Structure 1
């Protein structure tokens, strides 16, 4: 077999297309795509210029030449499909959430570890070069002891009362929507950059659109008229968090904030300095000090080694989400070959995210501060 990773993408929606582009950018080969039916699989394979025609996932897993499987299907399918791939001896990159329960996420992560296979989860915002720069400055002690962490993740794609997605239905998307979908990204990013672990939360969830059009298999669509069903997942969330050292954090999450397309924003305030990052403006970071503030530009000629490694375009030539995804896939493939790339999010990070989601749901139900359960030590050690 050649050194090139031979990948099968399971799921033919928007995120499957993102994975396909990232695989190719990382030097891998997309040899097959598995969609909801054999007919759709063949049609998408033609659209994406994919050579193989697999009628279903078992057929793809039976191909000994396949190295890695990218699971890009609705959330409720992740565990079954990722487990099948791991048991077939394939490495797995599984979209988040890794599972809709922490117990399933732990089981999947343990299976991958025991089989000696990579299980990676695309918390790709870690791969913005200036995110790496902020983290490096934290490691060097530039910000001092943390005083406060705060931010938001805002979108507007569910603002219309006629907007619908499989994510709305708990049977397909899981019991949490807005927090599990995007709040989990914020928590992963802040914990990793700041080097903290949130230990307890108090959360409130809100559903601002009471009913939406019934049923869809699409990631997103609009459907005026016809039957409507009650919405059982949240559109918005507010979360207070506390670290083991007593540092407070706050997070606002929304999928109904007009004009906000994908605004993941955080501020980390330390005793010596502060840092701000806005995912919609990833070429700059704001750094605060007692005597003022300055804007830091992404520049491959300056800054930390990781910032320079991930800055593959000259300063002033914008990089963004697609570049992050390609860098994540490249690091995952490097790990399959035996490297240990810094910051690669793995199954243990998927377990961590699932436990955060469960704590938020429990807190919202009880209206109390709720502990975030720790993953087993063996899983944490594999992160």
Structure 2
């Protein structure tokens, strides 16, 4: 009996889809069907040239059902979901009802109540929802979590001062796409920040207090307080906030985590984390709905919280953004 698993892919033309294609191939499995309303999916030829492809969901649905009913070794075991954020919960439901497990990109859903409803469908179907929380698999983040746990075990009152900065420049296309619509993407905190918020919750434990200082179309910032840590965070898709030395190198992305003024190096290794996520899913060690929910709830709270622009604890880049906006 073949041990090769069959995958289908929704959102094959998206930015993140090649990471999933590569992960399926690297784990020795295959994509047998893919779907996207956009037909610019030539990348499939580099991974699975024999995959069926559909631009209409209805035909994709029919094909998946046909594969399920036929006994020819192509029944879909997993459906990987790389569609726009606001469609995730619908496509997860489809996967579960099609008799497949769902593997869904971040954020799993836009609103926490969407995930809570999925828990019922997951139980009814007997299938499972897996989500990509790749920073939990990053060696530097794993080491940081252990370091924090050891310090708190030695001193329950230990307190860490942390700064998180993530700037990933985006052009005008970003704001004309679904990513620029808050109701579809969840806004900047969800679209580029949810896996960082998940990481913070995973490292420092349950949230005690959220203070949002700034949330606009291109910038988000605030302070998260945990029992043993205070975290100033800053997210942006605006290249103007990149440090001068990053811009001088022609780079468009900047990631930084400091703890007590010490830089935590985690820039390397990002490209392999999807493959490692798939390995863990196939081995039965995935992250599910319960794992994803705390960060989804936090992002929703950030999105709906009043903005407290005046604070001595404000992130320096957020302070700059507030002053720039006022000029």
Contact 1:8 1:70 in 2 (8 A): yes
- Residue 129 to residue 60, structure 1, CA distance change in 2 (3 Å): farther
- Counting matched residue pairs gives 287
Q: What aligned pairs does 1:234-249 form with structure 2 within 5 A after superposition?
A: 234-243=217-226, 245=227, 247-249=229-231
Deviation at 1:140, TM superposition (A): 4.0
Does the 8 Å contact 1:6/1:68 carry over to 2? Answer: yes
Query: Structure 1 residues 21, 161: closer, same or farther in 2, change over 3 A?
Result: closer
CA contact (8 A) 1:153 1:253 kept: yes
Aligned position for 1:172: 184
> Displacement of 1:163 after TM fit?
5.2
Task: Provide structure 1 residue ranges, at least 5 long, that are not aligned to the other structure.
Answer: 208-233, 283-319, 336-340, 369-383
Distance 1:264 1:117, change over 3 A: farther
Is 2:278 the partner of 1:324? no
**Residues 168 and 19 of structure 1: CA distance in aligned 2, closer, same or farther (over 3 Å):** same
**Is 1:103 matched up with 2:85?**
no
Aligned partners of 1:53, 1:6: CA distance in 2, in Å? 12
The separation in 2 between residues aligned to 1:134 and 1:248, in whole angstroms, is: 15
1:36 is displaced (CA, Å) by 1.1
Alignment partner, residue 49 of structure 2: 50
1:132 aligns with 2:154: no
Where 2:193 maps in the other structure, the secondary structure is helix
Cα distance in structure 1, aligned partners of 2:292 and 2:252: 24
Please give the per-residue CA displacement for 1:77-133, whole angstroms capped at 9, x wherever unaligned: 111111111111111111111111110011113322443322111121222222222
- Kindly report the root-mean-square deviation, in angstroms, between the aligned alpha carbons of the 2 structures: 2.8
* Match of residue 92 from structure 1: 102
Change (3 A) 1:183 1:49: closer
Q: In the aligned structure 2, how far is the partner of 1:21 from the partner of 1:247?
A: 37
Please give the alpha-carbon distance, in whole angstroms, between the structure 1 residues aligned to 2:15 and 2:99. Answer: 27
From 162, 178, 188, the equivalent of 1:150 is 162
Q: Is the 8 A contact 1:206 1:236 kept in 2?
A: yes
Listed as ranges, the matches of 1:1-383 within 5 Å are 2-11=2-11, 12-36=13-37, 45-46=44-45, 48-55=47-54, 56=57, 57-62=60-65, 63-64=67-68, 65-141=75-151, 144-145=155-156, 146-158=158-170, 160=171, 164=175, 165-174=177-186, 176=187, 178-194=188-204, 196-207=205-216, 234-243=217-226, 245=227, 247-256=229-238, 257-258=241-242, 259=247, 261-269=252-260, 276-280=263-267, 282=268, 320-335=269-284, 341=285, 344-364=286-306
How far apart, in 2, do the equivalents of 1:126 and 1:60 lie? 35
Q: Distance in 1 between matches of 2:40 and 2:96?
A: 24
| Kept after mapping to 2: 8 A contact 1:79/1:99 | yes
Query: In structure 2, do the counterparts of structure 1 residues 197 and 268 end up closer, same or farther at CA, with 3 Å as the change threshold?
Result: farther
Asked if the contact 2:178–2:184 (Cα under 8 Å) also holds between the matched residues in 1, the reply is yes
TM-score (norm 1): 0.67
> In 2, are the aligned partners of 1:263 and 1:278 still within 8 Å (CA)?
no
SS in 2 for 1:200: strand
Task: Quote the Cα distance in structure 2 between the aligned partners of 1:162 and 1:327.
Answer: 30
User: Normalising to structure 2: TM-score of the pair?
Assistant: 0.77
Q: Which runs of 4+ in 1 moved over 6 A?
A: none
Kept after mapping to 2: 8 A contact 1:78/1:99: yes
TM-superposed CA distance for 1:355, in Å, is 0.6
Distance 1:105 1:162, change over 3 A: closer
CA distance in 1, matches of 2:129, 2:161: 29
SS in 2 for 1:358: helix
- Structure (1 or 2) with the greater helix fraction: 2
| Residue equivalent to 2:315 | none
Distance (Å, rounded) in 2 between the aligned partners of 1:130 and 1:367:
32
1:135 shift after superposition: 2.4
Name the SS of the counterpart of 2:16 in structure 1: helix
Deviations 1:234-269 (A, max 9, x none): 2111111122x3743221111113346443332345
**Structure-2 separation of matches of 1:113 and 1:263:** 40
